[in-house]
Structure 1
Amino acid sequence: MASDLNVVALTGRLTRDSELKYANIGMAIARFTLAVNRKIKDANGQWVDEASFFDCSMFGKSAEGVNQYLLKGTHVAINAELRQEHWEKDGQKQSKVTLVVSQLTLLGGSQNNQNNAQNQRTGQQTGKYSPTPQERSTEPPVSNGVEEFDESQIPF
């Protein structure tokens, strides 16, 4: 009999600095929220970002080692599993689904640091990054829930 699969892989940006706490047994727990964007067309046909937010936890030595780098705006990739937490508040049962991170990769600095680096590449000293004409002409693919792909790329 096959076992169930509980795997999540995401890339996104931290919405706040990571918070490091220690459990009664001394285990480190780093908690942060990850914002993941996707492009959608609004009612006017304009491309807009739609964000989803995920509460994440990381445990042990990994949490201690990476916590100092988990700052607001930092771009990361995570591998995690879904875990449902349960508690009671004012006599009402509560629950939420969180991501327990098993692997984290730093993809770059904060959004501000990346904008500064892009500004230097384009010769701009101050202000926000302005895309080149080639970047402006590139529209994201239409997302109707089904991705289009070349069937010749399937290996079987």
Structure 2
Amino acid sequence: MINRVILVGRLTRDPELRYTSSGVAVARFSIAVNRNYTNQNGEREADFINIVTWRGLAENCANYLRKGSLVGVDGRLQTGKYENQEGRTVYTTDVVADDVRFLEPKNRSESSAPGFGGSSFGGGSTYNKGNKPMDDPFADDGQPIDISDDDLPF
């Protein structure tokens, strides 16, 4: 069986971090994902998708993501149900994220998207499920690149 979800969207609210009774971190947030087509009025609609992250990934999302942050989410779809206070059954659908990529550097979102908070940790670094930083080898650090003509493929 295959249960895989890959999404790119912007957070609709700041992540909400909580801890289970056994001390495991869990963060919840939702992202808006644009649809590929426009409606009758020529406007692009979006789907609002609930995301759940666990442990170190949850703490990193809560610490470094804010409303408006552009993220890539890789995970699985999970459904559930519960009874509300009126005794009605409520069905839920969430994406349980295995990996969340911060898709824009913090300083970019603050300068190019007024009204939205910062979106990532450091100059393009991302964190995966193992809570290890993944540096961007193509990030511009302002230093000249020294490549000899022998290293070029053309």
TM-score range, shorter chain: 0.5 to 0.7
Does residue 87 of the first structure (1) align with residue 87 of the second (2)?
no
Alignment match, 1:13: 10
Higher fraction of helix: 1
Q: Hey, what's the Cα distance between the residues in 2 that align with 1:111 and 1:35?
A: 16
Query: How far off its partner does 1:40 sit?
Result: 2.5
Unaligned runs of 5+ in 1: 117-156
2:37 to 37, 40, 52: 40
- Rounded to whole Å, the distance in 1 between the matches of 2:109 and 2:35 is 16
Query: Normalising to structure 2: TM-score of the pair?
Result: 0.65
1:140 corresponds to: none
- Against the structure 1 CA distance between its residues 31 and 113, is the aligned structure 2 distance closer, same or farther, given a 3 Å change threshold? farther
How far apart, in 2, do the equivalents of 1:69 and 1:15 lie? 15
Q: Secondary structure of 1:68's partner?
A: helix
Does the CA contact (< 8 Å) of 2:39 and 2:45 recur in 1? no
1:75 to 58, 70, 92: 70
Q: CA deviation at 1:41?
A: 3.4
Task: Give the letter aligned to residue 72 of structure 1.
Answer: K
Q: Which residue of 2 aligns with 1:98?
A: 94
Alignment partner, residue 143 of structure 1: none
2:26–2:53 Cα contact (<8 Å) kept: yes
Q: What is the count of residue pairs matched by the alignment?
A: 111
Residue 22 (structure 1) shift: 0.3
Structure 1 residue ranges, 4+ long, deviating more than 4 angstroms after superposition: 109-112
d(CA) in 2 for partners of 1:81, 1:22: 21
Alignment match of 1:30 (pick from 27, 32, 35): 27
Q: Deviations over 1:81-124 (max 9, x none)?
A: 011121111222211111101001000148553246xxxxxxxx
Unaligned 5+ segments in structure 2 are: 115-154
Q: Which has the larger radius of gyration?
A: 1
TM-score normalised by length of structure 1? 0.65
Conservation of the 8 A alpha-carbon contact between 2:51 and 2:94: yes
Identity %: 33
Whole-angstrom CA distance in 2 between matches of 1:111 and 1:22:
29
